[in-house]
Each structure stands twice: as C-alpha cells, then as structure tokens.
Structure 1
Amino acid sequence: MVAMAKRMKIFEIVFNDPTKTFYCSGDKVAGKILVEVLEMTRVTAMKVLGVGCAKVEYAKGKQRCREEIDYLKYEDVVHLDDHPADTDGSVILRPGNKYEYSFGFELPQQGQLVSSYKGKFGYVQYFVKAIMERPSHPVLECKRHFEVEEPLDVNTPDLLSPTGGMKEKKVTCMFIPDGQVSLNAKIDRRGFCEGEEICIDAKFENTCSRIVVPKAAIIAKQIYQANGRTKVFRQKLSSVRGNHIISGMCDAWQSKSIRVPKIKPSILGCDIIRVEYALMIYMHIPGSDKLVLELPLVIGTVPYNGFGSRTNSMSSQDGSVGTSSASWVSLRMPSSAPPSYCDIRRDNSLEQPLTPLLDDYDGGDSPIFMNASQFQFPPLPTYSEVDEDYNNCGARMLPVC
C-alpha cells in the first residue's frame, strides 16, 4: 500500500517473505517500511503497530449493534540504520534517496489468536501500520494486512468418533393423516478438511402417499454476537441427492459421498464470531416442510491421516445407525462374481422423451424425471449353477426362512 502525500513519493510496508500466505501463532512478522521523498522532509518519529482484532457490526431495528475484541497489540518506534539523527531523535530525509526502516515482532502463542475471517456482519483481521510523524505537518499512515490461520487438527479422538441420528415426521393432507417419512443416517467422523469426501450411510422410509426425495448438503452457519444480541446467517455450500422414493418404499445410501468444498476452517475460539458447519441430511416432501437431520462438522487445517477412526467405524457396524438394524449398511458380497451385463445390446425403445415426475423446489437442483413409455427389459445373460457335494456326505441346500 502506498500513501501518496505532497512530499512523499513512496511510503509503504513490505514483508521480508512476500510469498508467505499466512502466519500462525508464535511466528515472526518482519519487514521494512520503504520511504522516498520528493522534498527534504524532517521526520520526528516512525512508529510501527501490529494490530489484530475481531469486529461485529450490524443493525437490529433502530439499534446499531457493535462489538470488538483485540487479539494483537504491538507498538514500537523504529530507526534508520547508519543514518545521523539530531539531538531530539529526528532525521532529515532527502530527495533521490530510498530509506528503509526495519521492524519485526512475534505473534502471541497458540490459543491467543483467531484465524482471519471476513463475513457478512463481521471480520477478524490483522495488519501492520506505519505512522510517520513530522513537525507542523499531518501524520502520515500506511497499512498492510496479513493472514493468520491457526492450525486445527481433525485427528483428535472427539473429531474421529462417528456421529449419527434418526428423524421421522408425520405427514398430513388437509388435517388428515397421510402416513410418515423417516430417515436414519450416520457418518464415520466429524472432522474433515477441504477436498475430503464425507461418506454417508443412511436409510430412508416413505409410508405417505407422496413421492419424496432424499438429499444431503454441507451447511455453513455464521454466528455474530454484539450488545447481547445474536445474528445467524446460514448458507448451503454443496449438495447431493438420491433417487426418488415412491409411497410404501424405502431406500438406502451406502457410503454416498459429498466433497468438502474450498471453505474457511471452523472458527470456534472467538467470543463474538463463530463459524460452524453441519452436514444436513433431509427429505424433500412436496406440499410439506422438509424432514431434516443435521450432523455437526468441524472443518480443520490438518488433514485426516488415516489412523484412529478405523476401529470406531468398524465397531459401529456391529451396532446400528440410530435404532435400526445395520444389515442394510453392511452388505455381504457373493463368493463368486455375478455374470457380466456389458455385452447386452442397448434397447432403443428406452430412447423416449422424458416427462417430469415431480417438481423440486430447491434452487439449483435439477428436476426428477421418469420414463413415460412402456418397455420390456432385455433378458438376463444365461449362466449355469453347479451343486457342490461337500465331503460326499450328501449335504443339501436348505431354504433361507
């Protein structure tokens, strides 16, 4: 940033490592203040400030809500090296020369800072400010921001433990009972990082007369607090959907994945700004409110290392998702591979115009379609079955009850 004034050609701050994208607690912020003047100028003092603060501001009716917290306060007076100064400490800067004031300070230790953030009603920001004092002239200032990103490791026992839940909803039509819908879902951990896949195991049941659609979405929730009031802003970041479920049917997801988009990590340590995430699993019901289950997520900066949660997720398969049986989650694969369907010639009778089956009111989602014409599926490929005689004991297969 260059502050131009009548007698200034250059007045800016540069960091020693311009390629550094962010700083962490305990890091050293170092750089130089570059000055070049157009006319001879006397500088009585050059101050450097390191500032970090969280600020919330929004209107609530006629009231203006405002709150601020300081996380970094550093101040120092810097001097020119090998440059003569008067008895009062002032220096004379001459045109044609470039002057450099060096500075450096350490950020507070872990637990005392909050990651940089900019939201709808507040922000957390850090910057270095240079203040030039001159006799009989206004004070000149220049500023340069820097990013802070506090490490958040998702490989902790709490964030590696599975989580899940169950929800159900009775559906009515003109105050007449119309069955119910229910969902049962779980994920194997709560902590994720940008770019990782969240695998969802879920079961959906529909006993109402309507066609419902299961969906999942990653939700960001920004919470701002000021003057004893709270303001919440919710945003849907990414979503996936399943197949429609007609009346009297159910459906299951086995490790259905949704990718964590490029988002800021969770902010949990600030008293006035919190950034939380959740996986929202829900069922779209035409003519009724959605059935929603929210599972909390923590978005970190240190990715999952592949250890720690395997035991939890394996042991959880012995139980259930919510209160239902886990048999729909852990399917047993057959001992031999099924016949291949790759050689089946595609039936051209399927190439028919598609007609909408259900209007889906969620913005950004594509509608559901069904095939309106009647058709016959092609026959399955032929294969043979061989009865095996174990130890020649005359054992025979019994029907499964």
Structure 2
Amino acid sequence: MSHTVKNISVVYNPINQNNTFTSGDFISGQVILDVANDTQMQSLSVKIKGKARVCWSEHYGKTTVVYSDKEKYYSVERFFVREDKTHGNEHEMLRDPSGQPYPSVVAPGRHVYPFTFQLPLQHFPPSLEGSVGKIVYSLKAKLSRSMRISSKAKAEFHYVPSPDVSNPELMAPQYGTKEKQMKLFTSGSVSMNIKTEKMGYNLGEGLKVLAEVQNNSSRAIKPKYCLYEKYSFFARGKRKVHTHDLFKEEGEPIEPNSRKTVTKVLLIPPSLTTSILNCKVLKVEYRLRVYLDVPYASDPEIKFPVVILPLQSLSGANSATNSDFGIWNQPAGGNVYTNPLPMPPSAPPLNVVGQPGQFGAPGYDGPPLSQFPAPGQCAPPSYAGLPGQFVPSASHQSDSSAPPPYLDYQLYPQLPDHPEKS
C-alpha cells in the first residue's frame, strides 16, 4: 500500500445470524477507500466470484509432480471508475446515488462506494476449506493507478446451498442383503437383510437401521455399525482420497442357530459438513457400513450411501424470485456491518460461468424381506449431488487408475477398500 493510498477494503452486510448466503440472496456492501492526497484513479472495481481449487504434490523418487485443477462457477466485475472504456460495456459501470458517474480524481479522506449483487439461483457447492482443496466465494476490490502497483482488498463470504428436500431419491428407502458360508474355525452360515428409511439426512437427525440377522453358525455374532466420511480430490486424471471413521457402534450378540430382528438409531453428528457431490474437482461423501462381527472369519458387510443435507437458509426475506444475477448502486447510510441496504430492483441477467457437474449414485437391489418394500421401490436412481465443507486430517491414498474428474463416475466404485475387521 502506497503512502497516498492509506487503505482500501471491501465489506458486506450480514443478512442472518449465521452470516451465510444462499442462491438468489442479495449481498450488499461497500468498497471503502482512504487516501492521504489527491488521487488520480485509472479504475476502481468490485468483483464477485466463486470457484473450487485443488492442489497437491507427489514424489516419485527425485521427481516431484504437482497436481492441480479448478472449477469456476461465476466471476462478475463492475467498475465505479474506468478511464479506458474501449474494452468494457456500459452495464459494467456503476454510478453514485444521484445517478452521476463517480469522479476519477478523489480528494484526501475516506470515500465509500456502495454496491449490491444478487447471487444466481443455480445450486453451487458450499464454502469449504480443506487440506488440499477449497471452495471459496469472495468479493474483491481493486484500485489501479498509472505507474503504480494496484491496490487490492478481499472479503470472503460463506455460501450454503438450499437443501433439495423435494428430491424423491433422497427420501427413498435403501436395502441390501448378504450371506456368508463359514470355513475353518467356524461352521455354518450367517446372513443379514438391512434396510434404512432413506438416503438424505439433516445434521443431528437419527438414522434408523433395521437389520434381520440369521445366525446358522456355531458361534455368537454381533451386528456392528460404522459411519465414515470420504473426501476425494481430482486433478489431471489423478485422484487423492482421504477417509475417516466418524463413529462405531455395536448391537447385542445373536446366539448360534437363531434369527433376530434388531433396530438401531444412529445420531448424525451435528458438526459434520454437508455432502458435496456437484463439484468437478472435489467430493465429500458419507457411507454407513453395517457388518457382522464373526469370530475367526472375515466380516460380511453392506454399505449404504448417506447424504448430509445443508441447513435451511434463514435469509428468506432477501431471497430472489427470479434468475437475475447483477449489481446495483446503493446509498451508503447505515452501519456497513449490521444494517442491510434496501433491496434493489431487478437487473439484466448476466452469464454465469461453469455449471456444476453431476454425480450418479446407484442403490441396492438385493431381494427384500416381506416387511421391506417391493423390488424396484428401493433402488434409488442416479442422484445429482448436494454440498458441504471442511476436510479433516485422516488417512489418505492416491489412485492413479481413477478416472479423470470430468467423467461421470459412479459412487460405489470410488470407495477405497475398507478394513474387514473393526
């Protein structure tokens, strides 16, 4: 920052207690410029953008290879001042509250430039800060002057997509079946039929599991439950995977030569990030693993996808009713941190760069029991993705045989082999 430009900053006004924004919301704020002397500006602008990016390195002997990729959701820039207008459009220029152009020369002191954006109605992945990848939504201010280094400022805002609770695929029940013949130290066989009520769950909600277990073996067995998360990062045809067990629980032993139906309710931790399934370069997924702990033998298991839904936005009063995505001038009154500016009129729609990818999630198609839904009612069709945040430190692996990130790969084949024994 030069001696002439004392400070430049960009701030926005929260619209709810969680300080989050969702599709269609208006985000208002100000670019604040403090200068010590008369200042000639070539341009002064504010930009809103959203993007996802991953980057990591791997070592092969003495060679280090860097893998990186990004996905751009939107990037729109508007100018308060722009001397060179040969490469711009008139709709990119902003005017002061009286409708006049902003002057390119400002006197010493503080100058406030208000703005308002409307977020597009498309569903984008939520904000995320991970170990080798992140999803960032931000506002950026930039001041350009002749023969000077540009002065910049940035403010990130937290984006949370609206939950797609109307998606019937998320509410459809899931079921699976597994049978195993014992060998060596344990004789006989065991089988299980497992059902879950649905695929999509809210934070803090109970996940109900119905298990019917037939133990025809010579030993007592225990049903066990494990919920784990899986983070996948994609770049240049390479995949990096992190997995982490969230919790494990077990049921009562089932004696030899007996049949038992048990119901278990597992609490979804309220601190989890929501699922991210609509991003090209990273994914956040959850799995429920139900298995039988068989002594002296490998454990038969069934896995179900679990989609963690985002919290309902509290910003309904500021949500848009159209698909416009624009910016307007606003008067600068009020506290810039706490008082939202008046809702602006509609503006011409702008192009949004990059549509989120989609992701298929097959369901189970095992034979149902009499109390289970009939076949065809429980195998959910492909699921188009929902979102979440934060990558914990966990065991990781790389998979050079993974498909490039732009392919529409399937959910289950992506899962790394999970240890058989808990």
TM-score between the two structures when normalised by the length of structure 1: 0.66
Q: 1:43 to 1:242 in 2, by over 3 A?
A: same
Once superposed, what is the RMSD of the aligned Cα atoms? 3.1
Match in the other structure for 1:31 = 29
Match in the other structure for 1:163 = 174
Q: Deviations over 1:323-375 (max 9, x none)?
A: 44549xxxxxxxxxxxxxxxxxxxxxxxxxxxxxxxxx74xxxxxxxxxxxxx
* 2:127 corresponds to 1:121: no
CA distance in 2, matches of 1:86, 1:266: 45
Larger Cα Rg: Structure 1 or Structure 2? Answer: 1
Contact 1:43 1:93 in 2 (8 A): no
CA distance in 2, matches of 1:81, 1:10: 21
Q: Deviations over 1:75-116 (max 9, x none)?
A: 111258489x999x532341xx321112222222324x3222
CA distance in 1, matches of 2:179, 2:227: 21
Q: Deviations over 1:163-195 (max 9, x none)?
A: 11111233433xx66333322110122221112
Contact 2:225 2:289 in 1 (8 A): yes
Contact 2:186 2:297 in 1 (8 A): no
What is the CA-CA distance between 1:5 and the residue it aligns to? 5.5
1:12-31 equivalences in 2 (<5 Å)? 12-17=9-14, 19=16, 21-31=19-29
Contact 2:288 2:304 in 1 (8 A): yes
Q: 1:59 to 1:212 in 2, by over 3 A?
A: farther
SS in 2 for 1:178: coil
Q: 1:206 to 1:137 in 2, by over 3 A?
A: same
Q: 1:265 to 1:60 in 2, by over 3 A?
A: same
Match in the other structure for 1:257 = 265
SS in 1 for 2:169: helix
Match in the other structure for 2:301 = 292
Match in the other structure for 2:345 = none
Greater CA deviation, 196-205 or 265-274? Answer: 265-274
TM-score between the two structures when normalised by the length of structure 2: 0.63
1:60-99 equivalences in 2 (<5 Å)? 60-62=58-60, 63-79=65-81, 81=96, 90-94=104-108, 97-99=109-111
Q: 1:289 to 1:119 in 2, by over 3 A?
A: farther
Contact 2:221 2:254 in 1 (8 A): yes
Contact 1:213 1:245 in 2 (8 A): yes
* 2:44 corresponds to 1:46: yes
Q: 1:302 to 1:82 in 2, by over 3 A?
A: closer
- The partner residue of 2:114 within 87, 90, 102 is 102
| AA at the equivalent of 1:226 | A
| AA at the equivalent of 1:239 | K
SS in 1 for 2:223: strand
Q: 1:252 to 1:44 in 2, by over 3 A?
A: same
Q: 1:86 to 1:179 in 2, by over 3 A?
A: closer
| AA at the equivalent of 1:90 | S
SS in 2 for 1:158: helix
CA distance in 2, matches of 1:223, 1:142: 31
Q: 1:189 to 1:66 in 2, by over 3 A?
A: same
SS in 2 for 1:98: strand
1:213-292 equivalences in 2 (<5 Å)? 213-254=222-263, 256-262=264-270, 263-292=272-301
Q: 1:284 to 1:11 in 2, by over 3 A?
A: farther
CA distance in 1, matches of 2:110, 2:159: 30
What is the CA-CA distance between 1:240 and the residue it aligns to? 2.7
Contact 2:186 2:296 in 1 (8 A): no
1:332-371 equivalences in 2 (<5 Å)? 362=422
* 2:203 corresponds to 1:194: yes
Contact 2:186 2:295 in 1 (8 A): no
Contact 1:42 1:93 in 2 (8 A): no
SS in 2 for 1:110: coil
Q: 1:141 to 1:324 in 2, by over 3 A?
A: same
Contact 1:116 1:125 in 2 (8 A): yes
CA distance in 1, matches of 2:190, 2:56: 40
Contact 2:211 2:262 in 1 (8 A): yes
CA distance in 1, matches of 2:3, 2:211: 68
Q: 1:165 to 1:82 in 2, by over 3 A?
A: closer
Q: Deviations over 1:292-328 (max 9, x none)?
A: 211122222368xxxxxxxxxxxxxxxxx9444549x
Contact 2:14 2:20 in 1 (8 A): no
CA distance in 2, matches of 1:82, 1:26: 24
| AA at the equivalent of 2:121 | Q
Q: 1:292 to 1:8 in 2, by over 3 A?
A: farther
| AA at the equivalent of 2:11 | V
Greater CA deviation, 70-79 or 202-211? Answer: 202-211
The answer for unaligned runs of 5 or more in structure 1 is 304-320, 328-360, 363-401
CA distance in 2, matches of 1:33, 1:140: 12
| AA at the equivalent of 2:48 | G
